Amino acid sequence: MPARIRPVLASGGGAGISRDNLHLQTAQSATGQGALAAHFVPDDLFRLMGQLARQAGGNPTSGGIHAATVGEGRQLMLYSEDIGRHNTLDRIAGEALLKGIDLGGKVLLVSGRVSSETVIKAALLGISLVASRTSPTDLAVRLAHESGITLVGYLRGAGFNVYTHPEVFAPSPADHVADGVTAVILAGGKSTRMKNNKALLPYSGELFIERIHRQLADIFDEVILVTNTPELYRFVPCRIVQDVYPGLGSLAGIHAGLTHSTTPYIFTVACDMPYLNPELIRLILSRKQGFDVVIPQSEGGFEPLHAVYGKGCLPAMEKALAEGSGRIVDSFDRDRVAVVSCADVARLDPKFLSFRNINTPEEYFRFRDEMLVQNEDLDGKGDMGFEGSPHK
């Protein structure tokens, strides 16, 4: 047994471990300054949580399984499931011991509430950051602060809360290609074929709309959501606007986003496009100089719901909408349009997945099955259904 791992006997389900000052001091010594010296990138945490969602096969079916994983960067290293929350961490500690893996400076992600016992065990293992989709207890927050652990809660689609030691997060690199551009999510469709709101479909532990918003927020300084049912999206942390010309489809949504944006350009996506490719988005943005529209092509033609539009488009859009026309490609001057060719798109997105919409239940379930088989970063099998507990 490693010298810093000591047996802990505690009674009850409360704070038995945390009341042992000797173990707290040991945890502080084990964690040391390494935790505070580490640096973490927020997007890496989202990717690790997505991998935890995919691994947690027992939870959605039984509803009573807890899960935990340890990772470094974007790489999941160890994973465990158990009916006991704290047993998952014990299993990880045992596997790390057998495999000779040093957990110092690593990230621990758990499916449920972060208790004081979890923090103490993590500190004894040298874990630098503990994160959960739900809340920590007050005592867990205090002990994490004292032992030098960064504690993160509510790690979900739109962001997360940092309770202790936020200084360990590295700032996101500047992304100047998005300067002067607002991202616009179109959520105005009626979802008649899906028969459920597509934006609210579960996807890798979060909703489509949460995932899309988070991906865009990583690139753009501002994200706007266009919808005529704003009451459904109050949980999305962005500005929500409605159509100026309701009932005229996607063109009306693009027009609303462009009208309300404070920047000269917008980049639009639909709420049912879960395969966003950041590098392709940046390529499209890089072509905007001197044009009113930058639109990519796929094998099926133009893709107007994954394109850049400038304020110069507004007069033509308003004319088309006033005449009752909702056709996007008929609303702009072709001389002011830059086309990103199929060949250019294919270099970054060979299967043209960025433009794929999920319109029917069959497409949705096929999408989930395909992602599970491919084990790609942007796959998932739906909401993890992880048990949570309010911050007390």
d(Cα 245, Cα 319) in Å, to the nearest integer?
A: 11
Give the start-to-end residue ranges of the domains of the chain. Answer: 21-168, 176-374
Per-position DSSP letters for 257-270, written without gaps between them: HHHH-SSSEEEEEE
- Work out the number of other CB atoms within 10 angstroms of the CB of residue 176: 8
Secondary structure string (H, E, C) spanning 279-338 = HHHHHHHHCCCCCCEEEEEECCEECCCCEEEEHHHHHHHHHHHHCCCCCHHHCCCHHHEE
Q: What is the pLDDT of residue 338?
A: 94
- Work out the number of other CB atoms within 10 angstroms of the CB of residue 170: 11
Any idea what DSSP says for residue 173? P
d(Cα 149, Cα 19) in Å, to the nearest integer?
A: 18
φ/ψ of residue 243, rounded to 5: -60, 140
In this predicted model, what pLDDT tens digit does every residue of 142-193 receive, in sequence order? 999 999 999 999 887 657 899 999 988 876 555 678 899 999 999 976 555 5
Residue position matching structure tokens 């988005």: 281
Longest CA pairwise span in the chain (Å): 78
Q: What is the pLDDT of residue 24?
A: 52
φ/ψ of residue 110, rounded to 5: -125, 155
By three-state DSSP, how is residue 138 classified? helix
Q: What is the pLDDT of residue 264?
A: 96
Q: What is the pLDDT of residue 152?
A: 95
Give the alpha-carbon dihedral of 254, 259, 265, 269, to 10 degrees. Answer: -20
For residue 225, what are the β-bridge partners?
185, 240
By three-state DSSP, how is residue 5 classified? coil
* 104, two tokens: 């110092």
d(Cα 294, Cα 345) in Å, to the nearest integer?
A: 13
| The CATH number fitting domain 21-168, selected from 3.40.140.10, 2.60.40.1180, 3.30.360.10, 3.40.640.10 | 3.40.140.10
φ/ψ of residue 131, rounded to 5: -135, 150
* 176-374 classified as CATH 3.20.20.80: no
In order along its 392 residues, the chain shows pLDDT tens digits of 445 555 554 444 444 444 444 455 544 544 444 444 557 888 788 878 877 876 665 444 555 688 999 998 878 889 999 888 888 999 999 999 998 899 999 999 998 889 999 999 999 999 999 999 888 999 999 999 999 999 999 887 657 899 999 988 876 555 678 899 999 999 976 555 555 788 888 866 678 888 899 889 888 989 999 999 999 999 888 999 999 998 888 999 999 999 999 999 999 999 988 888 888 999 999 999 999 999 999 999 999 999 999 999 999 899 889 888 777 766 676 778 999 999 999 998 998 989 988 878 788 887 777 666 543 433 333 333 333 333 33
pTM: 0.56
For residue 301, what are the β-bridge partners?
298
For residue 338, what are the β-bridge partners?
294
Radius of gyration of the chain (CA): 24
- The closest alpha carbon to 113, from 76, 88, 146, 147, belongs to 88
Q: What is the pLDDT of residue 358?
A: 83
φ/ψ of residue 135, rounded to 5: -105, 160
Give the alpha-carbon dihedral of 200, 203, 205, 206, to 10 degrees. Answer: -30
For residue 131, what are the β-bridge partners?
109, 152
For residue 293, what are the β-bridge partners?
309, 337
d(Cα 361, Cα 201) in Å, to the nearest integer?
A: 10
CB 53 within 8 Å of CB 73: no
d(Cα 34, Cα 361) in Å, to the nearest integer?
A: 48
